[in-house]
Amino acid sequence: MAAVGNPTGLQFPAVRKFAINRRTKNPLDKATIVSVFPKAIQERKHTIEPGIFQIPAGTLENPGLLVIGSSSWWKHFDENQPNLEIQVSSIEVAEAVIRDYSIATFGCDMENSRPGLFFIPGDINVLEVKTKYKDALKDAYDKQHNWFGFLLGAAESLWARSGNNPLCISDEMRLAAIELGKKDRPWLLDFNKIQLVACVACGNLKNPAFPVCGQCKAIDMSHPAAKELKFASVG
């Protein structure tokens, strides 16, 4: 007869619970992640605990700070021994959080073009960062400025090569344009406000605000601006 709550009557092996041998954490093991990146960041590490790191947005004048401690992972031996906790120092964790986020961003070379993130050993406040670590703060800002410049150039190229398709522009590129004072760029428009349509000639999506398809160069003669187009003569 099937057990209540198990209508199939199948027998499942019991889930074995492994004991965990927790170690006492060093309360002085702290590191401070500093950000001049004007966008909040959430970085997740699935193999350690704590593994979620939320770095607030920051600027050169008011850097964002996240103070972290050590994290842990557990080594399993067998069912007769408790899992062994392996602690990872705050410095190692901070370095991994910054490195993994940065290398995943387009245009970052981890040298002179990268998001404005760095870490300082210890629990540091904003005043200490701006006084004792002002050189590191300025260095992070300068490297981020270089990165923003790269993103701006890439956005201009992608915008032209895609036939003004706003979907090719990333949020970081838009942020770079704003931070560099280039707010007049047409691709800063919210792409959700632009309803792309299929080109009648090639089928690729195009911006209906323009009469010429960026892919096949076909002209939409129903567009009001099509009659005003002028082309240079060849020969």
Average pLDDT in the 6-17 region? Answer: 53
Whether residue 197 has pLDDT greater than 70: yes
- CA 110 centroid distance within chain: 15
Q: Does 160 lie in the same domain as 233?
A: no
Tell me: do 125 and 231 sit in the same domain.
no
Residues 177 and 224 in one domain: no
The pTM assigned to this predicted structure is 0.73
Higher pLDDT, 6 or 196: 196
Residue 14 lies in a domain: no
Instruction: For residue 85, give every residue at least 6 positions away whose Cβ sits within 8 Å of its Cβ, in sequence order, or none.
Output: 20, 21, 22, 23, 72, 73, 74
Whether the predicted pLDDT of 192 surpasses 70 = no
Closest CA to 117 of 46, 192, 32: 32
What pLDDT, on the 0 to 100 scale, is given for residue 11?
Answer: 58
Q: Determine the Cα–Cα distance for residues 143 and 110; give it in Å rounded to an integer.
A: 9
Over the Cα atoms of the chain, what is R_g? Answer: 27
Average pLDDT over residues 52-75: 95
For residue 145, the enclosing domain spans 20-194
Considering the domain architecture, whether residues 219 and 190 belong to the same structural domain is answered as no
- State the total domains in the chain: 2
Residue 3 has pLDDT above 60, yes or no: no
The span from the CA of 124 to the CA of 119, in Å, is: 10
Tell me the percentage of the chain whose pLDDT exceeds 70: 84
Q: Taking each helix axis from N to C terminus, what angle separates 171-179 and 134-161, rounded to the nearest 10 degrees?
A: 120
What is the average pLDDT score of the chain? 86
Same domain, 109 and 214: no
Q: What's the pLDDT at 8?
A: 55
Residue 167, SS3? Answer: helix
Shared domain check, 183 and 75: yes
Express each pLDDT in 113-144 by its tens digit. 999 999 999 999 999 999 999 999 999 999 99
